[in-house]
Amino acid sequence: MQKLKLKSYYKVLGFQGSDQLAQRLKELGIQINESLYIQTKIPLGGPYVVRFKNAHIALRKDELECLKLQATE
């Protein structure tokens, strides 16, 4: 897993892993080149909270791993 920094911006380079999860991420509105802000991580190994297009979504590490991300800032 790529090491993700909290309170940082990432660019979505592509989708990987489970097709079903990738499809759902696309339907949620995430697309290639999307700017994704990793806001925080829920305590005790809980999900990440990410923001894109002014929406906040909580998703587990496994789901986040379906996105190829590149740090932008």
Instruction: Give contact residues for other proteins (rule: CB under 8 A).
Output: 18, 20-21, 23-32, 39-40, 42-47, 49, 51, 53-60, 62-63
Tokens of 28: 């949620």
Cβ closest to other proteins, residue 6 vs residue 71: 6
Smallest gap from Cβ 38 to other proteins, in A, equals 12
Residue appearing with tokens 């097709």: 19
Smallest gap from Cβ 61 to other proteins, in A, equals 10
Smallest gap from Cβ 37 to other proteins, in A, equals 9
The CA distances from residue 28 to 12, 37, 51, 58, 59, in Å, are 14, 15, 12, 12, 12
67 close to 15: Cβ distance less than 8 angstroms: yes
Cβ closest to other proteins, residue 23 vs residue 70: 23
